Amino acid sequence: FYTADVPTYAFDVAKANALLDEAGYSKGDDGKRFSLKLLPAPYFNETRQFGDYLRQALAAIGIDAQLVNNDSAAHIKAVYTDHTFDLAVGPPVFRGDPAISTTILVQSG
């Protein structure tokens, strides 16, 4: 089993704001930089909760994430067929079988 060193970054709102300003995404008079469409997968509470968290975290840097809570069929169509999203949150489940996925995740650490 091979593990690569993956860099981690501190949660730094000031640095995120500075990087967005530098990239040309300055805040408007309403404090927002831009809006985006965020689709959390509807399969598990955790993906929906992470969508809520991500929306709040992005708001801290002036990004207005509009949550789109679809049912399973509409989520799959929006993400994999129509590509009508800016960010999508998916579960760590492989091959449609949670038992297999859980085994893989536990074995990999």
For the entire predicted model, the pTM comes to: 0.74
The model's confidence at residue 65, banded by pLDDT at 50, 70 and 90, is very high
DSSP 38: E
Count CB neighbours of 18 within 10 A: 12
CATH 3.40.50 fits 30-107, yes or no: yes
Q: Give residue 108's region: left, alpha or beta (phi > 0; psi -120 to 50).
A: alpha
Amino acid (1-letter code) at residue 31? G
Q: What is the pLDDT of residues 71-103, one digit of tens each?
A: 999 999 999 999 999 999 987 665 556 565 555
